[in-house]
Structure 1
Amino acid sequence: MTRPLTAAQRRLIEAADPETGRLKGTEAQLTALVKRGLAFRHPRPPHDHFLTPAGHRAREARSEPPENEPQAHASAGGVFTARVGGEPAPPAEGPSRTREVRSAWQGMLELRRMTNPDASTNRPCAWERTHLVQAAALALEAAGYRPAGAADGDDGYQVRETPQPDAVAVYAPDAAMLRACAETLEGAGWQAGEYTEPRTRRRYVLASPRRV
């Protein structure tokens, strides 16, 4: 079970810079937040610490992130677990989910700014390139698209891995939504094109992070 934040950790998070998420505290305090996936240490000098998207959400909600939220990526800055489509038990819907998604996307843009060599926010960062499915799903969910449910025939999007190491496949129930998903990903810094599966004749979008 995830331990609750201490009073000192809450104060640290709430005192972070509202624009950049930059944190100030002792090395031990900052390291503890990094281990919880709520902060990351910038790789370039002066190696300041900043809130991750999960840290931004914790500050916004003034509560601990959900206990079942994966933190495996804490060293890169914990990224919000977007819905990839087809989850058997989707997260809560409604305004709270909308706020979480919006906060996660803003946190991702800040992570791009802080970790891309040229501080660019218009193309994916290193974390996204190693978590392609989650990154593409976040871009789609943040744009307002609804992910597919667990039932067959559901009318939402699905993001899936592909044999290509740097690309994901996006499926949608109709041509219009598929085209819209491709345009959204292109606007979020991805290269996207529509293709047809030879065996099933099913249309899909193949997307990969743009590098320049």
Structure 2
Amino acid sequence: MTRPPTAAQRRMIEGADPVTGRLRGTEAQLAALVKRGLAFRHPRPPHDHFLTPAGHRIREAVPEAPAVPAPAPDTGVFTARVGGEEEPPATGPARRREVHSAWEGLLELRRMTNPGGAADRPCGWERTHLVRAAALALEAAGHRPAGGGADGYRVRATPQPEAVAVYAPDGPALAACAATLERAGWQAGEYTEPRTRARFVLASPRRV
């Protein structure tokens, strides 16, 4: 019978990045989680460690703290930018590295959890975190989120099941967002809101 994780290991699992499952800890601590099958070491630099599906199950079994709109700037937790945050969007090298690492981790999660190891379409986590998943795909492709007075994309939830709305400052930017989501495994089409006449992209994760 597999022993349950220790209290220290459970704290590491609980503290994993909420988007990608990326872990922080010493090499010995991370290696112990890998040995238990709760984490894996990414094969490409910087060789970060991420939760496996078994690790995610343990994490999801832990009662979550009340949701907050965004973490404090110094928490060290990666959060996909959905657009419209009060503080100006980060654009420096550190942010680009974080986004790249988060996207690579999400692709690895697709390979591990999708049937046949398919990385070309969204996985179960993305289907339950639609807004953050779509925002990560956009930011990873180089689109700029709106915020702090800057124009950019905004990703919002919709009443429709498994669908998000994406807004952009102009037609070309909106078309570019739609193309990025299509490449990331989403179905995307442009529509017009009947009341405001605002154009937006309606996107949903592709299943096949």
What is the TM-score with the length of structure 2 in the denominator?
A: 0.69
Letter in 2 for 1:128: E
1:160 is paired with a residue whose SS is strand
Alignment: residue pair count:
164
Task: Give the structure 2 partner of residue 191 of structure 1.
Answer: 187
Q: How does 1:1-212 map to 2 (within 5 A)?
A: 27-28=5-6, 30-37=9-16, 48-51=37-40, 59=48, 74-75=59-60, 80-90=78-88, 92-151=90-149, 154-212=150-208
- Once the two structures are TM-superposed, the CA of residue 192 in structure 1 deviates from its matched residue by 0.2
**Whole-angstrom CA distance in 1 between matches of 2:164 and 2:180:** 14
Q: CA deviation at 1:59?
A: 4.3
Query: 1:208 Cα shift?
Result: 0.3
**Quick one: which amino acid aligns to residue 99 of structure 1?**
R
Return the offset for 1:119. 1.0
Quickly say closer, same or farther: Cα 1:34–1:57, change in 2 above 3 A: farther
C-alpha separation between the residues in 2 aligned to 1:133 and 1:174? 20
Shift of the 100–89 alpha-carbon distance from structure 1 to 2, 3 Å rule, reads same
Q: Alignment identity in percent? A: 63
Q: Distance in 2 between matches of 1:190 and 1:112?
A: 13
Q: 8 Å contact 2:41–2:47 — kept in the other structure?
A: no
CA distance in 1 between partners of 2:90 and 2:40 (Å): 24
* Partner amino acid, structure 1, of 2:13: V
Q: What displacement does 1:37 show?
A: 1.6
SS of the equivalent of 2:122 reads coil
User: Is contact 1:84–1:158 with CA below 8 Å preserved after alignment?
Assistant: yes
| Structure 2 gap ranges (5+) | 23-34, 50-57, 62-76
The CA RMSD measured in Å over matched residues stands at 3.1
For 1:110, the aligned partner's letter is E
Equivalent AA in structure 2 for residue 172 of structure 1: A
How far does residue 90 in structure 1 lie from its aligned partner after superposition? Answer: 4.3
The alpha-carbon distance between structure 1 residues 199 and 91, as it changes in their structure 2 partners (threshold 3 A), is closer
Report the CA distance shift for 1:58/1:148 in structure 2 as closer, same or farther (over 3 A).
farther
Q: Give secondary structure in 2 for the equivalent of 1:85.
A: coil
CA distance in 2, matches of 1:156, 1:91: 10
Q: TM-score, normalised by structure 1?
A: 0.68
Residues 57 and 34 of structure 1, relative CA distance in 2, 3 Å threshold:
farther
Q: Distance in 2 between matches of 1:166 and 1:191?
A: 11
How far the C-alpha of 1:118 sits from its partner, in A, is 1.8
User: In the aligned structure 1, how far is the partner of 2:163 from the partner of 2:202?
Assistant: 6
* Greater than 4 Å deviation, 4+ residue runs: 56-60
